[in-house]
Structure 1
Amino acid sequence: MREGTFILVLCLVAWFSFDLLEGQRDTARSERDAALFEASGLREAARISGEMLAERDAIDLQRTQELNHERAENDSLRLDVDAGLKRLRLNATCSAPATPAASAGGVADANTPELTADARQDYFTLRDQLALSRQMILGLQDHVRRVCLR
């Protein structure tokens, strides 16, 4: 009888130990599954972030190239105007002559209207700033369309 009780107690201890180990195994499996799910989510987030950064860099490269092209055209126009090869077209009118006698045949020293040297420099500076602003706006619009709304 003593041996039977000992075997029964031994079986109960083994059963409780097995039950405890099974609970720990289930907990470890659920933690492993949660970690794998989180890792796959982080991998997907990293992949998407990488694609978004690549798209952002492509937009930046495209807009920078277009800006450099526009600035090169503006510099070429500036050099051509300075060399006299091209002229800037203006909407201007000549002022009315001060004396009625001068109006009969026209103004003797009337030249075609042109910008002063300072105004010409300001014109080209404004063209550069306009090109920069335009490319910045287009780049932001591309970023919103191709990256943010994704």
Structure 2
Amino acid sequence: MLREILFPLVLCLVAFFGFDILQGQRDTAREERDNALFEVAGLREAARISGEMLADRDAIDLKRTLELDHERASNLELRLSVGNRRQRLHVNATCNAAGAEKTPAGGMAAATTAELATDARPDYFTLRDQLALSRQMILGLQDYVHQVCLR
């Protein structure tokens, strides 16, 4: 008789502890699942923000590259115009009166506008190209800081 009472009681206790263990494992699995879903959401948001930042960076790069190409094309056009003598490179300068020839009437000879020497022209155009490149790089970096980094 004792055996008939103890066996169902032990069986019920084993079943109770078994269900308790399974319930604990289920709760642990749910918690891990919830943590993983939270992490996935965070990673998706980080990927979205990174994608937007890369798109902004690419837009800035494209804009500044197009502006640089335009400036270089303008510089090349000016270089060709000067080379074909359609335009002249004038220098903002004044001539010293001591070096000028006097006219027979005692006055100063009519001087022409100061112009850049022929051998200095390639350096001038190189400097213009480098200035355009530096300008676009600085503007691009400023745009990057304002539009991407300080976001």
Same fold (TM over 0.5): yes
**TM-score normalised according to structure 2 size:** 0.90
Q: 1:25 to 1:98 in 2, by over 3 A?
A: closer
Q: Could you give the per-residue CA deviations for residues 86-131 of structure 1, whole angstroms, max 9, x where no partner exists? A: 12221222233369x83624359x5542111222211111111111
1:84 deviates by 1.2
Instruction: Kindly indicate whether residue 108 of structure 2 is the aligned counterpart of residue 106 of structure 1.
Output: yes
Q: 1:98 to 1:28 in 2, by over 3 A?
A: closer
The residue identity in structure 2 corresponding to 1:30 is E
Query: What pairs with 1:1-150 in structure 2 (closer than 5 Å)?
Result: 1-97=2-98, 102=102, 104-107=106-109, 111-150=112-151
CA contact (8 A) 1:97 1:107 kept: no
1:35 deviates by 0.5
Q: Distance in 1 between matches of 2:13 and 2:113?
A: 113
The residue identity in structure 2 corresponding to 1:65 is L
The alignment yields a C-alpha RMSD, in angstroms, of: 1.9
1:48 deviates by 0.8
- SS at 1:102's partner residue? coil
Q: Distance in 1 between matches of 2:118 and 2:17?
A: 98
The residue identity in structure 2 corresponding to 1:41 is G
Q: Distance in 1 between matches of 2:50 and 2:16?
A: 50
Q: Distance in 1 between matches of 2:47 and 2:126?
A: 42
Q: Distance in 2 between matches of 1:111 and 1:9?
A: 119
CA contact (8 A) 2:90 2:116 kept: no
Q: Could you give the per-residue CA deviations for residues 19-71 of structure 1, whole angstroms, max 9, x where no partner exists? A: 00100110010001001100111011111111110110011001000000000
1:83 deviates by 1.1
Which sections of structure 1, spanning at least 5 residues, go unmatched? none
Q: How many residues align?
A: 148
Which sections of structure 2, spanning at least 5 residues, go unmatched? none
Q: Distance in 1 between matches of 2:48 and 2:26?
A: 33
